[in-house]
Chains A and B, each alone.
Chain A
Amino acid sequence: MKKRLIYTCLVIGASLFAGCTKNFDAINTDPNQTTAALMNPNFLMAQAQIQFSNTGYDQLLYQSMWSQSLACTYSYYSNGDKYVYGGSFQDYKSRTWNTSYGAATLVYEMKNLVKGNASYSNLDNCGSILLVMMLERITDAYGDIPYSQALQAKAGISTPVFDTQQSIYTSMLSTLATATAALDASKSGPTSDLFYGGDVSKWKKLGYSLMLRVAMRLTKVDPTTAQKYAEMAYNGGTMSSAADNASVRADNSNGNPNSDANALNVTDDFREVRWSNTLMSYMQSTSDPRISAVGEIAAGTGKAANQTKAAGITTASLQVGMPNGYDLNGGATDISHAPGYPGTSPADPSVANDAAAPDGKYSRPRYLVYDDYNRLNVILTYGETELLLAEAATRGWATGVAATHYANALTADMTELAKLNATPVAVVAASDIATYVAAHPLVSGSELQQINMEYFVETSTNFNFNETWANWRRSGYPVLTPVKYTGQFTDGSIPIRMEYPVTLPSTNGANYSAAVKRLSGGDLFTSKIWWDSK
Chain B
Amino acid sequence: MKYFKHLLGVRNKYWLYRSILIMKLTLILIVIFNLQSVANVYSQQKVTINLKSADFKEVISAIQKQTTYHFVFSERKIPSKRNVDINVQNEDVTAVLTRLLANSDFTYTLLGNNLIVITSKNEVVNDAVIRGKVVDEKGAPLPGVSIKIKGSNLGTTTDSNGGFSINVPEKATLVFSFLGYETQEVAVGGKTFVTVALVPSSRGLNEVVVTALGIKKDEKKLGYSVTTVNGDLLDKAKESNVAMSLEGRVAGLSINGTNGGPGSSARILLRGVTSFTAGPPLFVINGVPMDNTQRGESGEWGGADYGDGISNINPDDIESMTVLKGQSASALYGSRAANGVILITTKSGKKNSGFGVEFNTNYQVDKAVDNTDFQQVYGQGIHGAKPANASDALASGSLAWGAKLDGSSVMGLDGLMHPYSLPSKNYIGFYRTGGTFTNTASFTGGNENGAFRLSLSDLNNNSIIPNSGLDRKTFNFNGSQAITSKLDVNVVANYIVDVEKNRASLSDGPGNPNNVQFIAPNEDYRILAPGYDASGKETSFTDDIYVTNPYFAADKFSSTTHRQRLISALSAKYNFTNWIYLQGRVGYDDINDARVDITPTGTAYASGNGGMTQTNSQISELNTDVLLGAKHDLIKNWVNLDLSLGGNIRKKDFEGTQISGNNFIIPYFYSLTNLPSRSSRPLGVNDGAGPLQTNSAYYTADFAIKNFLVLSTTGRYDIYSTLPSSNRGIFSPSVSGSFIFSDLYHIDGLDFGKIRVSYAQTSGDAGGTFRDAVYYSVDNSINGVNSGGFSSQLPNLFLKPFTLTEAEVGTELKFFGDRLGFDVSYFARKTHNEVINGSIDWSTGYTNQYLGSGSTQNRGIEVEIHGTPVRTSDFSWTPSFNFTYVSNKILQTDGKTNANIGFGTYRPLNANLALVVGMAGPQVMANDYVRNASGQIVYDSSGLPEQGPLKAMGSTVPKIYGGLNDDFHYKNFNLAFLVDYRFGNKVLSATNYYSIYRGENKMTLAGRETGVVGPGVTDSGAPNTVNVDAQTYYQALAQRISGLNVLDGSFIKLRQVTFGYTIPKTVLTSTPFSAISISLVARNLWTIMKHTDNIDPESGFSPDIRYAGIEGTSLPSTRTYGFNLNFKFKN
Contacts and interface: CB of A to CB of B under 8 A. Distances in A.
A117 interface: no
B843 A150 contact: yes
A106 B788 CA distance: 9
B909 A91 contact: yes
A47 interface: yes
A46 interface: yes
B457 to A, nearest CB: 37
Give chain B's interface residue range (CB within 8 Å of chain A).
35 or more
Interface string A249-261: 1010111100000
B534 A352 contact: yes
Interface string B840-851: 111111100100
B786 A40 contact: yes
Nearest to A17: B695
B253 to A, nearest CB: 33
B728 A47 contact: no
A292 interface: no
Contacts of A90: 909-910
B533 interface: yes
B456 interface: no
Contact of A486 (B544, B840, B942): B942
Given A21-B695, A27-B691, A251-B783, A356 B391 contact: yes
Interface in B684-714: 684-685, 691-693, 695-697
Interface in B755-802: 769-770, 772-783, 785-790, 792, 794
Given A5-B576, A33-B776, A487-B1032, A13 B383 contact: no
B697 A17 contact: yes
Interface string B207-244: 00000000000000000000000000000000000000
A311 interface: no
B792 A328 contact: no
Contact of B543 (A20, A25, A268): A268
A153 B845 contact: yes
A50 B786 CA distance: 12
A192 B845 contact: no
A503 interface: yes
B677 interface: yes
Interface in A234-267: 248-249, 251, 253-256, 265-267
A160 interface: yes
B725 interface: yes
A46 B787 CA distance: 5
B647 interface: yes
A27 B909 contact: no
B383 A2 contact: no
A27 B693 contact: yes
A330 B942 contact: no
B967 interface: no
Contact of A267 (B604, B844, B942): B604
A46 B786 contact: yes
B786 A42 contact: yes
Interface stretch (B28-36, B471-479, B803-811, B896-904): B896-904
A30 B769 contact: yes
Interface in A32-57: 32-36, 38-40, 42-44, 46-47, 50
A330 to B, nearest CB: 6
A202 B720 CA distance: 52
B544 A268 contact: yes
Given A30-B770, A153-B846, A352-B533, A44 B604 contact: no
A104 B900 CA distance: 27
Given A192-B787, A253-B677, A254-B782, A36 B843 contact: no
Contact of B787 (A24, A35, A50, A153): A50
Contacts of A20: 649, 693, 695
Give chain A's interface residue range (CB within 8 Å of chain B).
35 or more
Contacts of A153: 794, 840, 844-846, 849
A269 B839 CA distance: 32
A443 interface: no
Interface in A189-246: 191-194
Contact of B628 (A6, A24, A25, A39): A6
Contacts of B685: 30, 32
A445 to B, nearest CB: 41
A10 interface: yes
Among the interface residues A25, A39, A46, A158, which one has the most CB atoms of the partner chain B within 10 A? A158
B576 A506 contact: no
A256 B784 CA distance: 12
Interface in A123-164: 145-146, 150-154, 157-160
Contact of A487 (B693, B775, B899, B944): B944
Contacts of B540: 267
B382 A330 contact: yes
B438 interface: no
Given A27-B721, A109-B845, A356-B391, A506 B899 contact: yes
B122 interface: no
A414 B839 CA distance: 45
A487 B844 contact: no
B385 interface: yes
Among the interface residues B544, B696, B785, B786, which one has the most CB atoms of the partner chain A within 10 A? B785
B548 interface: no
B383 A36 contact: no
Nearest to A328: B395
A282 B691 CA distance: 62
A249 B722 CA distance: 41
Given A16-B649, A90-B909, A486-B942, A509 B899 contact: yes
Given A254-B780, A265-B607, A44 B843 contact: no
A151 B787 contact: no
B772 A28 contact: yes
A353 B382 contact: no
Given A39-B776, A256-B780, A98 B842 contact: yes
A509 B841 CA distance: 10
Contacts of A116: none
A291 to B, nearest CB: 27
A46 B785 contact: yes
Contacts of B415: 352-353, 355
A16 B649 CA distance: 9
Contact of A193 (B389, B539, B785, B899): B785
A329 B383 contact: yes
Contacts of B728: 21, 24
B128 interface: no
Contacts of A475: none
A468 B737 CA distance: 75
B692 A27 contact: yes
Interface string A508-530: 11100000000000000000000
A384 B684 CA distance: 44
Which 8 residue pairs across A and B have the least CB separation, nearest first? A43-B788, A33-B775, A105-B845, A153-B844, A151-B845, A46-B787, A39-B776, A355-B391
12 contacts: A24-B721, A27-B692, A35-B775, A36-B774, A36-B776, A109-B790, A253-B677, A254-B780, A266-B545, A503-B902, A508-B840, A508-B841
Interface of A: 2, 5-6, 9-10, 13-14, 16-17, 20-21, 23-25, 27-30, 32-36, 38-40, 42-44, 46-47, 50, 74, 85, 88, 90-91, 97-98, 101-102, 104-106, 108-109, 145-146, 150-154, 157-160, 191-194, 248-249, 251, 253-256, 265-268, 303, 328-331, 352-353, 355-356, 358, 486-487, 501, 503-504, 506-510
Interface of B: 382-383, 385, 389-392, 394-395, 414-415, 533-534, 539-540, 543-545, 576-577, 580, 582, 604-605, 607, 626, 628, 645, 647, 649, 676-677, 679, 682, 684-685, 691-693, 695-697, 719-722, 725, 728, 769-770, 772-783, 785-790, 792, 794, 839-846, 849, 897, 899-900, 902, 909-910, 942, 944, 1029, 1032, 1036, 1039
Given A102-B792, A151-B845, A154-B845, 6 more contacts: A35-B776, A42-B786, A46-B785, A157-B844, A486-B942, A507-B899
